[in-house]
Amino acid sequence: MKHLWLCLMLLLVCVAPVVRADDITVRAGIEPNTVEVGGQVMLSIEVAGKFRRSSPPELPPLPDFDVFEAGTSQNFSFVNGQAHSSVTFSYVLSPRKEGTFKLEPIRISLGDKQYSANPVTLTVVSAGAAITAPGTAPGGSPTTDLPGSDESIFVAASVDRDTVYVNQQVTWTLGYYTDGRVELLRAPNYAPPEAEGFWVEDLPPQNKYYTNLHNRKYLVSEIKRGYFPTAPGTYTVGEARVDIVLDDMRGGNVNDFFNRGLRGGFGQPRALTTKPIAITVLPLPASGKPTGFDGAIAGDLKVSMAVDKQVAQVGQPINVTVELSGTGNMRTLALPKFKGLDTFKMYESGNATNSFKQDYVVSGRRKFDLVLVPQAEGKYTIPAVRIPYFDPVKKRYDVAQSQALPVEVMAGTNEDGRKLIYAGGDGFEVLNRDIRFIHAAPAALTAAPRPFHTTSLFYVLHALPALAVAASLVLERRRRRLSEDVGFARASRALRDAEKRFAEADKAFAKGSIEPGFAAVHTGVMGYLADRMNVATASLTGDSIDAFLRERSTADDIASGVRRVLAACEAARYAAGLATLDSGRSLVRDARAAVAAVEKGLR
């Protein structure tokens, strides 16, 4: 591994001189781009490309702003032999007067070259609405799980209320605090809490501000979520987790990747967690419940109804739209019930829900589309939609109601469809019109075939992908081990290579070549033992072979067989006149048997 790292470092050093100017990008952004006097905005400057180290950017003169450093985050990637770095410098700006300000030039130096970021524009208006002041957390109840003064980075969670009614919003806030004493190697990774028994809504945007804790200034980044309990009881918003990687090269150049790689420092992982928060959910009051209440819960609920036509013919559809709007989780509201529409056929043609999150309060609009088909002419009134609901903020029941809509239905002109008639006197009188479809009777009834999904073949086919994945994992593991473990690779092919040498000996004896045949037998046996012992063939001795076979608990007769084969090969080598073709063929059989016996004993 040390050699691999050194090669990697040398490769990066070699490619560093070919970095071109167009490989570097510098981008500036500001959020929000409109702020009140005394408010705060976040200025971010990102440098990305192929570089090793970067100095802080040079900001233009900002006499009308209070400027605070908000930290630095950096990332490094190495993909397809190409190194890529990115560093983001963050600043908090607090304007002192109103106006439109264009921040430029923002310059940064990389080596002997200088780059400029794009200009950004900030609009500052007079202080009118509430401004988040440093030292106060906007919204939410006071945080109760703040750590001691020795923490440089920590997280804390709070809720705006811990006792609510069913389907009333609980705003949960995660605060990420940092005082700038330590730096991160990459951006934090946030995992939201588990909350069984709640509907959950994310509440963007993130909020950033400064606050003072323990006589130290912290930059606070907030993430908010809305939780809507679905039933009475006591529930828990679980712990949230933020994973960070601290720079473990204190006192060194934090942007020097090469120094970090040689020293082995790739950051110190750390998990920050919040404390769980218990929420008490109250049942709806039993008193004051209006007639027809079916569980609708919202704040300031309003209902409206509209039709696409107020004059229609019999059988001509009338499109009706019912819209509900209010604060809270509008997805839980059901289609209102209509009464007094016996002369109409009613169909629901669709519904849609839009959610809004102004000032971290969830509100919405739910729309239902209906089709009314009149069955008789006359003047009718589509009754008002009446929805009794409970307002959790006002803690009382109320009724939302729309206006009733008049509709005039005229006689139809089309004669399509089935005519309903009765026989009376000498003629026929048309009573009504409708559609009745004709279903032809089949000529014969046959048993339906067995559905394919109930057959055994269906389940076998479903199991094949899993078996294929399992087989590929096994093959990949073996392939990786063969490439990484030399001893395992040699032992795996030892018997196969020995058999190749024995086959060569058989061919040599068949051609009448005695010496090459005995040499092939000797090479096959010695090569097999060297592969099994993971040593060089030249280093094998009789004592080392005997020691290896004894350590593997090989039977004495097997070890004796191996020695006899090797002795016969040596005798044929130094006393070639005593070797014959028949003895050679017999020796090949003995060698195969000896090697097979050793292989069986080693398994």
- Provide the CATH number for the domain around residue 211: 2.60.40.10
Higher pLDDT, 40 or 464: 464
Say if residue 225's pLDDT is above 90: yes
Contact assessment for residue 533 and residue 543, using Cβ atoms and an 8 Å cutoff? no
Q: What is the mean pLDDT of the chain?
A: 80
pLDDT higher than 50, residue 13: no
Amino acid identity at 14: C
More confident residue, 428 or 150: 150
Phi, psi for 15 (deg, rounded to 5): -85, -10
pLDDT at residue 480 is higher than 70: yes
> How many whole angstroms from its chain centre is CA 207?
23
Kindly report, residue by residue over 486-515, the tens digit of the pLDDT.
Answer: 888 888 888 889 999 989 989 988 888 888
In a domain, 451, yes or no: no
Angle between helices 514-533 and 556-574 (to 10 degrees): 140
Please say if the pLDDT value at position 273 is more than 80. yes
136 pLDDT higher than 70: no
Would you state the pLDDT for residue 227?
Answer: 94
Q: Is residue 460 part of a domain?
A: no
Query: 69 pLDDT band (50/70/90 cuts)?
Result: confident
* pLDDT higher than threshold 60 for residue 381: yes
| The pLDDT of residue 503 | 92
Q: What pLDDT was estimated at residue 454?
A: 80
Domain assignment of residue 248, yes or no = yes
**Pair 252, 168 in one domain:** yes
For residues 304 and 278, membership in a common domain is answered with no
Residues 265 and 331 in one domain: no
Sheet holding 233-237, edge to edge: 163-165, 277-282, 233-237
For residues 247 and 349, membership in a common domain is answered with no
Q: Are residues 264 and 224 in the same domain?
A: yes
Whether residue 304 sits in one domain with residue 220: no
Residue 147, pLDDT above cutoff 70: no
Same domain, residue pair 277 and 157: yes
**Cα distances (angstroms) measured from residue 18 to each of 22, 26, 47, 50, 78:** 11, 19, 18, 10, 16
Query: Is-contact 51 104, C-beta < 8 A?
Result: no
Residues 303 and 274 in one domain: no
Residue 433 lies in a domain: no
Whether 251 and 170 map to the same domain: the answer is: yes
Query: Do the domain assignments include residue 467?
Result: no
Among 108, 125, 142, the domain boundary falls at: 125
Is residue 146 in some structural domain? no
Residue 148, pLDDT score: 61
In the chain, the percentage of residues whose pLDDT exceeds 70 is 80
Helix (H, G, I), strand (E, B) or coil at 531: helix
Last residue of a domain, one of 360, 383, 410: 410
pLDDT at 436: 53
Q: Provide the pLDDT for residue 9.
A: 55
pLDDT higher at 579 or 125:
125
Q: Is residue 293 part of a domain?
A: no
Within-domain flag for 476: no
Give the model's confidence band at 224: pLDDT under 50 very low, under 70 low, under 90 confident, else very high. very high
pLDDT at 347: 86
278 shares a domain with 308: no
pLDDT band of 260, cuts 50, 70, 90: very low
| pTM greater than the 0.95 cutoff | no
Calpha distance 307→195 (Å, rounded): 42
Tally the domains of the chain.
Answer: 4
Are residues 276 and 381 both part of a single domain?
no
- Confidence label for 228 from pLDDT (cuts 50, 70 and 90): very high
CATH number, domain with residue 371: 2.60.40
User: Which pLDDT score, from 0 to 100, does residue 137 have?
Assistant: 37
* Containing structural domain, residue 402: 299-410
The top-scoring range by mean pLDDT among 85-89, 220-224, 443-447, 545-549 is: 220-224
- H-state helical runs in 279-421: none
Distance CA 470, CA 452 (A): 26
Kindly state whether residues 169 and 265 are assigned to the same domain: yes
Highest mean pLDDT among 19-33, 217-231, 245-259: 217-231
Among the candidates 81, 109, 125, a domain finishes at 125
CA angle 336, 337, 339 (to 5 degrees): 140
Q: What is the pLDDT of residues 421-462, one digit of tens each?
A: 344 445 545 555 555 555 566 666 777 777 877 888 888 888
Q: Which has more confidence, 84 or 162?
A: 162
Looking at mean pLDDT, say which of 66-70, 93-97, 190-194 comes out highest.
190-194
Reported confidence tier of residue 20, pLDDT bands at 50, 70, 90: very low
CATH number, domain at 525?
1.20.120.330
